[in-house]
Structure 1
Amino acid sequence: MKNSSPALLLATALLASASFTSCVTAKKYDDLSARQKATDQSREAAERQAREAVAELKKATESLNELKLENRRLVNDSAQTGTILRKTQGLYRELSDTYDKLIRNNEKVLANKTADYQKVAQDLARREAELGDLSNNLNKSRSEIDKLAADVKTREARLAELEKALAEKDAAVNALRAKVSNALLSFKASDLQVKVKDGKVYVSLSEQLLFKSGSTKVDPKGQEALTKLAGVLKDQRDVNVVVEGHTDNVPILKGTAGMQDNWDLSVLRATEISRLLTVGGVQPERITASGRSQYVPVAGNDNATNKAMNRRTEIILTPKLDELFQLLDANSQATKPTK
């Protein structure tokens, strides 16, 4: 017989199995518990068979002992003793074979159960490793989600600031348009128009209001309009002023003093108007004079009416948007992907 009893081997295997079940999820634990229950049932059957084998062995041993006693009593009876001895020896061999068979069967059952326990233990270890990986991935995902949520919250705050700045800018542009329109109400709509486009206020002055044909000197009526406009703009220190001169496609007369073409005419007219605005109180550093010649028409140069529309001066009023640009730059930097 072996030194360890079957019951001790089973208990040891069960304890080894139980040590691996502490870290699995409830669903997986239920599955393993079911398998463990089946294993326990098999173990109980094996133990029951072992007990029966031990009982049979004990019974056989007792029978053997009785036969041995009987054999000693009959050893002197030659004929009877010989018969009984041979019978006893035969029974002894049978009992020994039965005993060895029972031992082999019991060892085989224990070996099978041990293999099952080892398989369950390996499966538990694998599942535990998988759960560990899943837990690490989940923690990593949660950290990334928390970071994304914080980034979204920051961007929402910046977006709210940007929307507020845009709304304030739009309000400032509309207020500026209203002030300019009110200051220039006395002029005809055909000579002077005020409109908002692309977040800027455009004051369009016709040539008829400002200049005689081919001239760069502003007429008195035009000077009156520019003086009123300057009166509004001089207090609007956060507004930049761009003066653009525009012409039709009719070439200037040859020999016109100081001018070669419509580029010169448009630039000189823009410069003259800029000078009058500074005389009216607008800070010179806020004004930019430019000539666009005939290349930005508002109508086709195919008839007198359209050509008159193209001969114009546009004064473009742009609120300074330093704060808005700072917000846009900060938002752009915040949305750049991190390395």
Structure 2
Amino acid sequence: MKDKPNEWVSVSDLMSGVMAVVMLLLVMSVLQKTWSDVRHKQEMEQGASAQRAKVAEMLSNIKASLNGTANEGLVMLDTNAQKITLRDGVFNRGSACIAGQANQAFATIEENVLKFLNEFSAGQVFIEGYTDNLPVLRPVTNFAAFCTVYDDNFTLSAARAREARKFIVGELPPAMARRVIVAGYGDSQPIPGVPPEDARQRRIEVRFVLPTR
């Protein structure tokens, strides 16, 4: 008598085949997502690199426009950090009043801040004030003469950043001007390798911050 075929063996083979197909589809899905993530990351990096290149070009244009002028020595660029440093001499000594000789530098920066904010709708500009570590010996209360009142380096640095912002913002629309932000750090963040009492510590930094996706 012949043995009957075992139907369960066929079902088992069928299920094994189905599982193999499912596993193959799962592996393909994972590989496709991984490849998609890699491509997305590459596109973002390329986009960020292109944005940084635009900012670097803008900073170079600022420097080029000031070369050979009285303001040339007031401005230092750092394309890696995407910032402009306005050196000691931008403000009158112990004052938040902008020195007359710095007007051209601020006007050039204002023009390029406008370009930056128009180019990058979510970009921001940070204007940050810093001082040396020499203490304020007595409060300054004559606002008319010093464009601020202050009794320590933090207040002075913030006032200088504020005055720089006023000049740089110029006639920007309010919505755009809100993306220009000030901060005063006093002598809390000295330049590494430079004595804390050195005049180079007295500075304003204008940082261009690109939007993050």
| 1:16 is aligned to 2:6 | no
Q: State the Cα distance separating 1:314 from its structure 2 match.
A: 0.4
Q: State the Cα distance separating 1:133 from its structure 2 match.
A: 5.4
Of 276, 291, 301, the residue aligned with 2:184 is 291
Does structure 2 retain, via aligned residues, the 8 Å contact 1:204–1:313?
yes
Of 67, 73, 84, the residue aligned with 1:203 is 84
* Structure 1 vs Structure 2 CA RMSD: 2.7
Structure 1, residues 183-231: CA drift from partner, whole Å, max 9, x if none?
Answer: 3323345x32111235xx21001122x1222111011111221012112
CA distance in 2, matches of 1:317, 1:155: 28
Does structure 1 retain, via aligned residues, the 8 Å contact 2:132–2:196?
no
| 1:164 is aligned to 2:46 | yes
| 1:139 is aligned to 2:28 | no
Q: State the Cα distance separating 1:312 from its structure 2 match.
A: 0.7
CA distance in 2, matches of 1:211, 1:244: 14
Does structure 1 retain, via aligned residues, the 8 Å contact 2:63–2:75?
no
Q: State the Cα distance separating 1:300 from its structure 2 match.
A: 5.3
Tell me the SS of whatever aligns to 2:136: coil
Out of 280-289 and 256-265, give the one that drifted further: 280-289
Amino acid at match of 1:197: N
TM-score by length of 2: 0.79
Of 166, 169, 184, the residue aligned with 1:275 is 166
Amino acid at match of 2:182: A
Amino acid at match of 1:204: T
Tell me the SS of whatever aligns to 2:151: coil
Q: State the Cα distance separating 1:316 from its structure 2 match.
A: 0.9
Which stretches of structure 1, 4 residues or more, deviate above 6 A after TM superposition?
none
User: In structure 1, what is the equivalent of residue 111 of structure 2?
Assistant: 231
Amino acid at match of 2:57: A
User: In structure 2, what is the equivalent of residue 192 of structure 1?
Assistant: 75
Does structure 2 retain, via aligned residues, the 8 Å contact 1:249–1:301?
no
**Rg comparison, structure with higher value:** 1
Does structure 2 retain, via aligned residues, the 8 Å contact 1:206–1:313?
yes
Unaligned runs of 5+ in 2: 142-148
Q: State the Cα distance separating 1:144 from its structure 2 match.
A: 0.9
User: In structure 1, what is the equivalent of residue 128 of structure 2?
Assistant: 244
Tell me the SS of whatever aligns to 1:295: coil
CA distance in 1, matches of 2:115, 2:21: 59
Equivalent residues, number = 198
Q: Classify 1:213/1:253 alpha carbon distance in 2 versus 1 (closer, same or farther; 3 Å).
A: farther
Q: Classify 1:249/1:275 alpha carbon distance in 2 versus 1 (closer, same or farther; 3 Å).
A: same
Tell me the SS of whatever aligns to 1:249: coil
Does structure 1 retain, via aligned residues, the 8 Å contact 2:66–2:105?
yes
TM-score by length of 1: 0.52
Does structure 1 retain, via aligned residues, the 8 Å contact 2:132–2:190?
yes
CA distance in 2, matches of 1:147, 1:303: 58
User: In structure 1, what is the equivalent of residue 151 of structure 2?
Assistant: 260
Does structure 2 retain, via aligned residues, the 8 Å contact 1:184–1:229?
no
CA distance in 1, matches of 2:192, 2:27: 56
Q: State the Cα distance separating 1:278 from its structure 2 match.
A: 2.3
Q: State the Cα distance separating 1:232 from its structure 2 match.
A: 2.5
CA distance in 1, matches of 2:36, 2:207: 36
Q: Classify 1:233/1:144 alpha carbon distance in 2 versus 1 (closer, same or farther; 3 Å).
A: same
Amino acid at match of 1:271: R
CA distance in 2, matches of 1:156, 1:302: 46
The structure where helix makes up a greater share of residues is 1
Structure 1, residues 276-316: CA drift from partner, whole Å, max 9, x if none?
Answer: 11237585223111101111110356475xx2111111011
